[in-house]
Amino acid sequence: MTRWRQSLAVLAVALFALAGPAGAQEPTPRVSISLEPSSRPELADLLTARLTTPDGGPISEARIEFWIRSDLFGERYAFVGESPTDSTGVARLPFVPHLSRYDVRVTFDGDEVWGPAEATAPIEFPTDHVVTYTATDPSQLGSLRFVMPRIMGIVVGLVWVGLFGLAFFTLRSFKRSGSEQVSHD
């Protein structure tokens, strides 16, 4: 065997050892997203993700992360929570919606058997389940808006006057005790 062929054979063995045997990559599972609305509007709805094998069997004890699309600080997905899958391959996360529609993404990072998987889907919530917030009326405390800064200024001023008085009388007592010791000596 020539040196060139020996080098080529060593290179092929090294590449095979680094890459591992063909087909060693973990199979990719399937994940789907759905909503289980609560029976009562005052209770949280459930975001669900079902993780299955390529042939449809459930994958249990897998950690699923739930994300929602957010426009806060730029468009991105914000982490909502995580949940393990049960024996049927379903992970459930309680969620109280503040909007009627969310783009939900679920991710599975993979494990020693399965490769990673993710899915994104729009989820529509029943309108009577959406929690809305109303702004408070600023006029409820309208008169205090002008009075409170003045009151706080007076309180802070009195605290400072007290601290300066304490410092003055403390230094004065040190001076007196020092002069009494000198006169007795």
Shared-domain flag, residues 157 and 74: no
Contacts of 132 (CB under 8 A, 6+ apart): 98
pLDDT of residue 26: 78
The domain that contains 120 carries what CATH number?
2.60.40.10
Q: Calculate the alpha carbon distances from 20 to 7, 49, 98, 155 in Å.
A: 20, 32, 49, 74
Question: What's the one-letter identity of residue 69?
Answer: R
Q: How many domains does the chain have?
A: 2
pLDDT of residue 20: 47
Considering only CA atoms, which of 46, 38, 32, 40 is closest in space to residue 93? 46
- pLDDT over threshold 90, residue 47: yes
The span from the CA of 60 to the CA of 57, in Å, is: 10
Tell me, yes or no, whether 43 lies in a domain. Answer: yes
Tell me, yes or no, whether 34 lies in a domain. Answer: yes
- pLDDT over threshold 70, residue 57: yes
Domain of residue 58, residue span: 25-129
The span from the CA of 52 to the CA of 94, in Å, is: 21
Tell me, yes or no, whether 56 lies in a domain. Answer: yes
